[in-house]
Structure 1
Amino acid sequence: MSLKALFYVFIFSTLSWGQAVRVTLNVNSDLVDQTNINPVKTLKKAAQDFLNNTKWTSSRESNAAEIDIEMLLTISSFNNNSFAASLQVQSGRMVYNTNYNSPLVNFFDESFGFTYQEFQPFYFDVNRYNNNLISVLSYYINLVIGMEMDSFSPLGGTSYFERARTIANAALASNAQGWQANQAQNGRYDIIGALSSTAFNDFRYLVYNYHRKGLDTMTDTPKEAKEAIAAQLITLENLMLRQPNAYLIQAFFDAKAEEISQLFSDGPGVETKALLRFLNRFVPSMSGYWSSITS
């Protein structure tokens, strides 16, 4: 179902509710100049099994929709048991009473190194650093679940952000690549530090209000839903003045720009002048999307 169809068609589907986290892991080794890529194949299977066989959510969270996560692990090089790679993580969030999956997360981890010996077991302990690949994958799983939970209840993902921070602290103590504070704008330690800080609560409340008071009400009251989304986006202004280069906000708009553009270029008309001023001022890199918003 397209986003535009939300304005016109009521599609009531029975959503599958539970605690499952389903991960699709794709591994790209096109950059690797190796005659033997069997280690890459066994790595993919081991990581995929680890991601899908580990219980990531607690039984008390029975109201959360099943979460589908896509990961793309791009291997740039490997020598013996040492790998260099990048990772893209994407996930969506189902909108109530529709089969529309709203993009929620689009993180890109530019580079990290890890070791992997064929057929080694993947063992995860949230309080103990074991392997950089396991820590990175587990960190992003908890980050995505936390964002998903935030979208269903105010600050609902706190426990998962705390777990991600525990993972980051354990990895930081190991001096593994990509975990140092202030290492990069999109460094893992700084991302979870922001999500754990009350200074970013406005962002987390936006995630909730955008989805629960906006998209989830779109089929019943589309005009009011659009007005709520516009108002909530503008609430980020103070945070963006304080943190103009915050990676979390950049990643949010990377995931949402096309959706926002479609929302406000079709369907019931709402006042968008204030929204356009905000978007063009604070997210000018996405001006190609904002140009289609009707004022």
Structure 2
Amino acid sequence: MMRKILTILPLLALLAFRPALAQELLADVKVSTQNVTVSDPTLINQMQNDMQSMLNTRAWTDETYRPEERIKFKMFVGITEIPTNGTYKATMRLVSTRPIYGTGYETNVVSFVDRDFVFNYSPQQPLDFSRNSFVSNLSSLLGFYAYIVIGIDHDTYSRLGGSPYYDLARNIVNYSANQTTTNEQDAGWKDAGSRNRYWILNNLTDPQLEAFRTGLYGYYRQGMDIFIEKPDDARAAVMTALTGVQKAAITRPGTLFARAFFDAKAEEISNIFRTSTDQSQKQQLVSMLTEVDPTNSAKYQTVLK
């Protein structure tokens, strides 16, 4: 399946211009050491460059991507502890973006926080990755989020289009959770707790929570992508998508994906509906989102002003 321009424009008009296979991701990685003392800052710079290079130079899928179609996301890694030489504990925040058709506007899609992971790193050992076997916890982490980002991006362009990439992410979860070859045992790959990698994938593949994924398609492809030409139709589609997200969030309170979605979208949703002239729709939106996302209730209240 082609994405972005290829999903929007007639395929026949583009067949003559199919480019060679290209990388899918355009990641911007930043590694922070403000909470630890590092004797060699150049090592951290190389770590950052190696992580970014692995994400951006590897072909993660068999699809054709144009350079302008690459999926942008930012990854902020904060080193919190260096237990032994070459071993690191860290947190990570990831924000993925997507362009809106016919505009120069890029919108945040989801915002994930990985609160605790451990990894080994040596500047003398290049980062490597396998879809089917454990190499290192850092390569597993990068591969997992690469497929999550690709899968979610596909979900915004076609209904449930990300499924093949969540299957690949599950392979990583399974072999990383069971690895015993290194000292990088990581609870984030298991069902301990409720806000880790295991549960991100669980939320995205649970049939009871399918409305999260269909909501992505409704919000973007049926809503935001037509907003410039048909704002009222776009708002109606976004409203339908949000109603589905609300139902899924009520089915499973405290769901990780709902938090990731609203952390990224609350302000944008408010902006979409603030200029609407349909007071009934605005009231319904505020009532619905205040219930499902009370953290951002102040933002939603501005819709009514």
Aligned residue number for residue 53 of structure 2: 49
Aligned residue number for residue 91 of structure 2: 86
> How many Å apart are 1:235 and its aligned residue?
2.0
Aligned residue number for residue 15 of structure 2: none
Percent identity, aligned pairs only, is 28
Aligned residue number for residue 226 of structure 1: 235
> How many Å apart are 1:35 and its aligned residue?
2.6
Aligned residue number for residue 254 of structure 1: 263
RMSD, aligned CA: 2.0
**Aligned partners of 1:117 and 1:124: how far apart in 2?**
15
User: Does the Cα contact within 8 Å between 1:223 and 1:269 map onto a contact in 2?
Assistant: no
Measured against aligned partners, the alpha-carbon deviations of 1:197-229 in whole angstroms (never above 9, x if no partner) come to: 212211100000000111001011111111221
User: Does the Cα contact within 8 Å between 2:117 and 2:188 map onto a contact in 1?
Assistant: no
Aligned residue number for residue 8 of structure 2: none
Measured against aligned partners, the alpha-carbon deviations of 1:142-193 in whole angstroms (never above 9, x if no partner) come to: 1011000000000001111111111111101126213343322211112112
Instruction: Kindly indicate whether residue 292 of structure 2 is the aligned counterpart of residue 282 of structure 1.
Output: yes
Q: 1:201 aligns with which of 206, 210, 213?
A: 210
Instruction: Kindly indicate whether residue 174 of structure 2 is the aligned counterpart of residue 169 of structure 1.
Output: yes
**Aligned partners of 1:237 and 1:64: how far apart in 2?**
33
Instruction: Kindly indicate whether residue 104 of structure 2 is the aligned counterpart of residue 99 of structure 1.
Output: yes
**Aligned partners of 2:67 and 2:33: how far apart in 1?**
38
Instruction: Kindly indicate whether residue 73 of structure 2 is the aligned counterpart of residue 73 of structure 1.
Output: no
Q: Secondary structure in 1 aligned to 2:62?
A: coil
Instruction: Kindly indicate whether residue 254 of structure 2 is the aligned counterpart of residue 272 of structure 1.
Output: no
Corresponding pairs, count: 279
Assess, with a 3 A threshold, how the Cα gap between structure 1 residues 94 and 277 changes in structure 2: closer, same or farther. Answer: same
User: Does the Cα contact within 8 Å between 1:230 and 1:272 map onto a contact in 2?
Assistant: no
Amino acid at match of 2:109: L
**Higher helix proportion, which one?**
2
Q: Secondary structure in 2 aligned to 1:220?
A: coil
Alignment TM-score, normalising by the size of structure 2: 0.86
**Aligned partners of 1:182 and 1:58: how far apart in 2?**
30
Aligned residue number for residue 14 of structure 2: none
> How many Å apart are 1:49 and its aligned residue?
1.5
> How many Å apart are 1:62 and its aligned residue?
7.1
Q: Secondary structure in 1 aligned to 2:217?
A: helix
Residue ranges of structure 1 left out of the alignment (5+ in a row):
1-16
**Aligned partners of 2:240 and 2:189: how far apart in 1?**
36
Assess, with a 3 A threshold, how the Cα gap between structure 1 residues 65 and 200 changes in structure 2: closer, same or farther. Answer: farther
Q: 2:148 aligns with which of 143, 156, 160?
A: 143
**Aligned partners of 1:35 and 1:257: how far apart in 2?**
41
Aligned residue number for residue 128 of structure 2: 123
User: Does the Cα contact within 8 Å between 2:115 and 2:196 map onto a contact in 1?
Assistant: no
User: Does the Cα contact within 8 Å between 1:42 and 1:119 map onto a contact in 2?
Assistant: no
Amino acid at match of 1:246: T
Aligned residue number for residue 303 of structure 2: 293
User: Does the Cα contact within 8 Å between 1:46 and 1:119 map onto a contact in 2?
Assistant: no
**Aligned partners of 1:30 and 1:260: how far apart in 2?**
34
Measured against aligned partners, the alpha-carbon deviations of 1:65-103 in whole angstroms (never above 9, x if no partner) come to: 321111111111223111011111111111111111111
User: Does the Cα contact within 8 Å between 2:218 and 2:240 map onto a contact in 1?
Assistant: no
Q: Secondary structure in 2 aligned to 1:155?
A: coil
Amino acid at match of 2:230: T
Instruction: Kindly indicate whether residue 221 of structure 2 is the aligned counterpart of residue 216 of structure 1.
Output: no
Q: Secondary structure in 1 aligned to 2:160?
A: coil
User: Does the Cα contact within 8 Å between 1:23 and 1:71 map onto a contact in 2?
Assistant: yes
Alignment TM-score, normalising by the size of structure 1: 0.89
Instruction: Kindly indicate whether residue 139 of structure 2 is the aligned counterpart of residue 134 of structure 1.
Output: yes
Aligned residue number for residue 32 of structure 1: 36
User: Does the Cα contact within 8 Å between 1:64 and 1:149 map onto a contact in 2?
Assistant: no
Amino acid at match of 2:111: N
Residue ranges of structure 2 left out of the alignment (5+ in a row):
1-18
